[in-house]
Structures are given as C-alpha cells and as structure tokens.
A and B are shown apart, each in its own frame.
Chain A
Amino acid sequence: MERANAEQLIGDVEKQRGRARKALSVFWFPLVVFGGIALFGALVTATAAPPVIFALWIVAWPAGMVATAIYYSQRVHRIGLSVPALPFILIGLCLGVSAFLLGWLGRDTRLGYAGPLFVIGAGYLAFAWLQRSMLEGALALALVVAAVFFSVAQPPHAGSLSLAFFGLASLTVGAWNLRQNANAE
C-alpha cells in the first residue's frame, strides 16, 4: 500500500471521527437551563426566607434534570448518534445531591455557598472530560476558582453572588456552544 493511500485513508477516517465528536459535544441546553435556574435562585436567595430557597432547589434541580434528559433523548433520534447516558446521569445526580446538601447543611457559612460551587465545578470537569470539550473544561475551572475566591474573600451576599456567577458563566458558555453548533442543531 502506498503512503499517499494510507494518509488519505487516515485523513478520511479522522474527518468522520471529528464530525461525530463535534455532533456529540453539544451541552448548551443544560447550561442554559441550570444557568437560568441559578440566576433565579440568586434573586430568591437575596430576598426570600430559607424554606422558600429550599423549596426552589428541591423542585428546580430535578425539573432541570428531567428537561435535560428529554432534550438529549430527542436529540439522539434527531441526529442519529448517541453516547452512553449512564455516566452523565450519575454525575448529574451526585452533583445535584451533594451541592444541595452542602448548601443546606452549610447555610450561613462559607461551606454553604463555596461548597456547592466547588462541587458543580468538579462535576462540570467530569462532563468536559466525557465530552472532550475545552470550553466546558474552562467553565468548570472558572467555577472551581470562583469557589475558592468566595471561600477566601467571603464578600457580603456571597450566597447570591456565587449563584449569580454560576448562572451568568453557564449562560455565557451555553450561548457560545449554541452558536458553535447552530448548524448541527
């Protein structure tokens, strides 16, 4: 076999793999959903009593997960490609439960606002690895760094500020990813 043929074959296959990878590396929907929930949560945290905040998260997070599952399930049939869903579901569940518990048990302390942000950042890092996305990885690192910053600086209204940061960062990266994949969508 000639070198040119081998090179062309490798090039063709890598092009197909790259297209499939790009089609699968779409994560704008959960970022927009959870970013929106976090921004609303920031507002609620600044103005409402703890039971209302508790009620918000106990309803909003599972609702966000169900919406995300429906979106990806429909997308699989639309584009005709899928990856195993179980790792994503398990990470999402662990992330949601641990962020909720840290936020609730550590309320009024820095564990209550920096803890969830750190856990979400770590969870997003796992998602970024699964989807091989530098952009999602950058968002995850920004969340981890912000968690450390909030923990050390302890600014006033840190609970609302950390949620607002998570919400805005998620919406920004979500919009960016949507733009990147506008044709595929």
Chain B
Amino acid sequence: MSADSHPASRLDETVHQRVRLGILGILSEADRASFTYLRDALGVTDGNLSAHLQVLADAGLAQADKEFVDRKPRTWVRATRRGRETFKSEMATLTELVTRYGAKKT
C-alpha cells in the first residue's frame, strides 16, 4: 500500500464500527472493563454487545475472561496488543480523513 493512498482505503473493516471502536477506545484507557460497564457505557443490549465482542475476539483484537465474585459470574474484557495497535491506527486514519476533507473544503 502506498504511503499517500487515500486514508479511507486504510480503514479496518473489523473495528470501523461505532460499538467495536468504542470497546477498543475504553480498553485503550483501562486494562480491562466488565461486560456490564461496556454495555452501559455504549448503550447496547447484552446480545448486541456479545455479538460485537465475538467479532473482536475472532479477529484477535480482544479477549473475554469469566470470574466469579460472591458466586456470581462476571465477564471481563481486555484488548490484546494487536487490538490496541489496531485502535491507534484506526483513530489515526480517521483523523487523517477528517483533516484531508477539511483541507479540501477550505
């Protein structure tokens, strides 16, 4: 891929989605986040969040671990190293896209 290719061609299909990018955004600040935190912060249903997490897990960008607190199961989600790198790259591409469109308009 050439260095001056259009930024839109560098957008990652897997993370270029509001909920999935939001998950990786939260996990760029925290080491891990609970399923409940992600669901409430992103305003999605349990099923919806599970589906997005599965997409991220299948791509090797996030992983979920279950633990028991007071005999209640709790799911924690972490971003993998690849997930963190992909998030940074996606945000940089989006910013470049905004800058390029902005420069063309002015």
Instruction: Name A residues whose Cβ lies closer than 8 Å to a Cβ of B.
Output: 1-3, 6-7, 9-10, 12-14, 16-17, 19-21, 24, 77, 79-84
Instruction: Name B residues whose Cβ lies closer than 8 Å to a Cβ of A.
Output: 8, 11, 18, 21-22, 25-26, 28-38, 41-42, 69, 74, 91, 94-95, 97-98, 101-102, 105
Expressed in whole angstroms, the minimum distance between the Cβ of A16 and any Cβ of chain B is 5
On chain B, the residues within 8 Å of A6 by CB distance are: 94, 97-98, 101
Expressed in whole angstroms, the minimum distance between the Cβ of A1 and any Cβ of chain B is 5
Check B97–A20 contact: CB distance below 8 A: no
Q: Which of B29, B36, B91, B95 has the most chain A CB atoms closer than 10 A to its own CB?
A: B29
Known: A13-B25, A16-B41, A24-B29. A7 touches B34 (CB 8 A): no
Distance of A7 Cα from B69 Cα, bound (Å): 40
Check B18–A12 contact: CB distance below 8 A: yes
Known: A10-B98, A80-B36. A1 touches B28 (CB 8 A): no
Check A17–B18 contact: CB distance below 8 A: no
Known: A6-B98, A12-B22. A80 touches B29 (CB 8 A): no
Expressed in whole angstroms, the minimum distance between the Cβ of A72 and any Cβ of chain B is 13
